[in-house]
Structure formats: C-alpha cells, structure tokens
Structure 1
Amino acid sequence: MQSIIKARNLILAYENEDVIIKNGNLDVKTNEFVFITGKSGSGKSTLLKSFYGEIPVRAGELNVCLTSLNKISQNELDKLRQRIGIIFQNYRLINEWSVEKNVMLPLIIKGISRSNCEKQAAKLLKHVNMSHKADKFPLELSGGEQQRVAMARALAHNPNLLLCDEPTGNLDEYSSDIIWSLLMSAREYLGTTIVVVTHHIPMNLRISYRHFAIENGAINEIN
C-alpha cells in the first residue's frame, strides 16, 4: 500500500521553544486506522498539526498525501489541505451559521456550486443522522450533535486523510460510541485514512488499527 504520511527523522518545535518531536519516524499507509497516544504535553497535537502545515518542519522529512511539507509554499499547502479533513475536540463550528451551511464550508471554499453544496451536505447530514437539525445553529445542539456536524463538515470534500484531535474528549460515553462508529464507517465505506490523537484508545473497537505512542519526543509503534 502507498504511504499517505511518511516522516523520517522529523524534528518539530514551536518558535523559540524546546524541541517537542525528536527524530520522529512514522509511516501510515492508505486506508489505515491509526491512533497516536501520549501524556499531556508529549507532542501528540503538535505532530497532528504538522500533518496539515500548522507547525513547520524544523528538520528531517515529512510527506503527507505525496506532498513534501519541507519549506512548502502557501499555494501548495492550500492544495494539500483540500485533501485533508480535520476534527477538533472543541468542534470549531461557526455559531452564526446553520448546521447545513457549516457542513458546506469546505465546498464553499473550493468554489463548488450552491446546488452541489446542498446535495453533499444533505447526504452527509443523513449519514451522521443530523438531517432533522439542518436548519438549527450550533449552540442549539448538544456536544455530541455538534461533533457529528463537525464530522460531516470534515468529510464534505471527500478527503483522503481525516485527522482527529481528541474527537471524543468532551463527550459522554453514548456520544463517543457514535463518533467512533462514524469514524469506522468513513474508513470502511469511503476509504478514508483515519489518524486519531487521543489519551485513551476505546476498549470495544472491533477493527484492526495501528498504535503509535509518543514518549520523550520519540514516536514508537506499539504492537
């Protein structure tokens, strides 16, 4: 299988701060489900941010979706991000926009026609069982409902790679189970590669997955 994320001797650090990821090595294949765990402050979210160019590569090599992130131009980065979906712990929905319009956002950015935006939004809201809330606004929804909308938005532009930063961290067990089920179906039916940063891997997942742990700046695969 083709690599969708490949890091070699990767070094990541915020400006004027200590190195967070030291000589990191990682190889994620297309259509894999991958967990990245580690203690708070270990660099999990930093690593995830590097995959979509929010944190620049300090040294080493990083390729995502066949694109090098070493000294990447803004134009190339914009193109790369059109192939990536992102789900955050705090949802990051636009409170002034309806649920439907929030889901349409990635398509609006790409310049897709309104009719096609509406069709794709309707399809994805049905997939996450939120069609009945299409005209509602984020603050009218529960946390679990907001995360399902965020997932529909992340999948709207059919990304090759879905990055999830503690996607169930603020949710109760019932809502968390729904999110995990939706993530598994995205991988199974859409062929999306899933990478999840989390403190804890759910015990009841009935899927094969790979597990990497970050400790003292190193990325180690757990077998």
Structure 2
Amino acid sequence: MDKIIIADNLSLGYGKHETIISKATFAIDSGSFVFITGASGSGKSTLLKSFFGALPMLSGSLTVGGVDMDNINTKKLNFLRRHVGIVFQDYKLVKEWTIEKNVMLPLLINGYARDISEMQVEKLLGHVKLTHQRGKYPMELSGGEQQRVAMARALAHNPILILADEPTGNLDEYSSKVIWNLLEGANTQLEATVVVVTHHIPETLGVKYKHYHIEHGDVYEVS
C-alpha cells in the first residue's frame, strides 16, 4: 500500500530551544483512518500543522502526498492544499460569507464550474443537515452547526487527505455523530486518508484505524 505521509527523524517546534516533536519516524498508508492522541500540549496540533505546511520542520524529513515538505515552495504548497481538506477546532469560517459560500470556497479556489460547485454544495449541506441554513452567516449558527459547515467545506473538493484537529471537542452529541459519520464515509466511500487529532477515540467508530500517541516528544504506534 502506498504511503501518503512519511516522516523520518522528524523534529518540530517553535525554535531551536523549543522542540515539541523529537526525531519521529512513522508512515501513514493511503486510504487509512488514523488517530493521533496525547495530553494537552504534547504536540498533536503541532504535528498536524506540519502535514499541511503551516509549520516548518526543525530537522529530519517529511513527505506528504509525494511533496517534500522541507523543499516546498508556494506553487507546491498550493498544489498540496488543493488535495487536502482541513477541519479546525475553531471552525475558521469566513464570518462575512454565507454558509453556502463558505462551503463553496475550496471549489472556487480549485476552479470548478459554478453549476458543478452549486450542485456539490447542495449535496454536502444535505449531508450535514443544514440545507435550511444556507443563506445564514456563521455567527447566526451554533458551534455544532458551524463545525458541520466546516466539515462540509473540507469535503467539498473531494480531498485525498483529510486532517481534523479535535473536530468534535466542543460539540453536542448530535453534531458529533454527524461529523464522525462524514469522516467514516469519506474514508470508506471516497477512500480518503483521514487523520484525526483527538483526546478521545469514539467507541462506536465503524472503521478500522491506526492509533499514534505522542508523549514527551515521541510519536509511537499504539497496538
């Protein structure tokens, strides 16, 4: 099976004197479902940021989707991000845009035709049970609804890699269930690789998964 993420002696941090991930070596299979756990401040989000080029490495090597993250330029980074869907814990929706336009954003960036974009947004808003909210703005929705919008946006352009940072950390039970169902569907139906940073792995997840844990800067697989 192909590897979509390969890390070799990867060290990450926010300066030479603040190493958070130390000499991590691991590989993530294409099409797999992966959880990354660890205590608060252990480096879970730091590691995830490196996967989409938001944090440069201190040393070692990291390849994501065949792109060398150490020698990445703007063109390569834009190419990579066109194939990645990202779900943040704090949603990161554009407050001045309607729900419909927020979901459509990655489609517009990727050059999809308007009619195809509208059809895709219609389908995704149905999946997250928010068709009736399409004309509203993010601040008019609850936190759970905003995260469901963010999830729809992450899936809009059929990414090959989905990165989710505590996607259900602050959500009610209903919204959490919607998010997990969408992530499972993206993995099993679209064959996307899903990497989720979380404190708690759901007990009822319907897919096989790998589990990596971070402790004292070490990243290791939990059997």
TM range (shorter): over 0.9
Which residue is equivalent to 1:29?
A: 29
Q: TM-score, normalised by structure 1?
A: 0.96
> d(CA) in 2 for partners of 1:163 and 1:17?
27
Which residue is equivalent to 2:50?
A: 50
RMSD: 1.2
Query: Offset at 1:110?
Result: 2.1
Which residue is equivalent to 1:146?
A: 146
Q: Which amino acid in 2 is paired with 1:188?
A: T
Query: Offset at 1:36?
Result: 0.2
Distance 1:106 1:17, change over 3 A: farther
> d(CA) in 2 for partners of 1:92 and 1:165?
12
* Of 111-120 and 132-141, the range deviating more from structure 2: 111-120
After superposition, residues 104-143 of structure 1 pair within 5 angstroms as 104-143=104-143
Q: Which amino acid in 2 is paired with 1:179?
A: I
Which residue is equivalent to 2:161?
A: 161
* Unmatched segments (≥5 aa) in structure 2: none
Query: Offset at 1:173?
Result: 2.3
Tell me whether 1:103 sits opposite 2:107 in the alignment: no
> Does the aligned pair in 1 maintain the 2:11–2:59 contact within 8 Å?
yes
Query: Offset at 1:16?
Result: 5.0
Query: Offset at 1:174?
Result: 2.6
> d(CA) in 2 for partners of 1:37 and 1:98?
34
Q: Which amino acid in 2 is paired with 1:158?
A: N
> Does the aligned pair in 1 maintain the 2:184–2:206 contact within 8 Å?
no
Distance 1:178 1:19, change over 3 A: same
* Unmatched segments (≥5 aa) in structure 1: none
Which residue is equivalent to 1:190?
A: 190
Aligned identity (percent) is 55
Q: TM-score, normalised by structure 2?
A: 0.96
Query: Offset at 1:115?
Result: 2.1
> d(CA) in 2 for partners of 1:173 and 1:158?
26
Return structure 1 stretches of 4+ with deviation > 4 angstroms: none
Q: Which amino acid in 2 is paired with 1:81?
A: R
> Does the aligned pair in 1 maintain the 2:16–2:58 contact within 8 Å?
no
> d(CA) in 1 for partners of 2:141 and 2:17?
39
Q: Figure out how many residues of one structure are paired with residues of the other and give that number.
A: 223
Q: Which amino acid in 1 is paired with 2:65?
A: C
Query: Offset at 1:17?
Result: 4.0
